[in-house]
């Protein structure tokens, strides 16, 4: 697989590692999202121990306001973080 294909597979794998622990396998609950953020993105976003901060991130990600974060909403977060990292590293 190419590097891009490997990256896509890792994104999918990371989502499904956390989704479904509290119910629906195709979405992330607030608790599942918190676990994913801390374990997979803690170095970029910082550890999210403040529940109000997690609530805000969850609300911002839940674009369709259905009370869960689906794969598209998760990928939007990763894409935005990737763009921010790219800007940071290309400015150095």
Closest CA to 58 of 40, 73, 78, 38: 73
Using alpha carbons only, give the angle 18, 19, 23 rounded to the nearest 5 degrees. Answer: 125
pLDDT tens digit at each of 92 positions of the chain: 999 999 999 999 999 999 999 989 999 999 999 999 889 988 777 666 677 888 888 999 999 999 999 999 999 999 998 998 899 889 86
Model's pTM, two decimal places?
0.84
Is CATH 1.10.238.10 the classification given to domain 3-91? yes
Which residues are CB-neighbours of 29 under 8 A, at least 6 positions away?
A: 21, 22, 23, 68
Given this model, what pLDDT does residue 51 score? 78
Q: How many CB atoms lie within 10 A of CB 86?
A: 10
Given this model, what pLDDT does residue 74 score? 95
């Amino acid at each position: 697989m190419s590097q891009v294909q490997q990256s896509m597979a890792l994104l999918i794998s990371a989502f499904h590692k956390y989704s479904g622990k509290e119910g629906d396998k195709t979405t992330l609950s607030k608790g599942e999202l918190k676990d994913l953020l801390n374990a997979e993105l803690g170095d970029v976003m910082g550890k999210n121990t403040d529940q109000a901060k997690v609530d805000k991130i969850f609300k911002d990600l839940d674009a369709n306001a259905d009370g869960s974060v689906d794969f598209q909403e998760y990928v939007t977060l990763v894409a935005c973080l990737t763009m921010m990292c790219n800007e940071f590293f290309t400015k150095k």
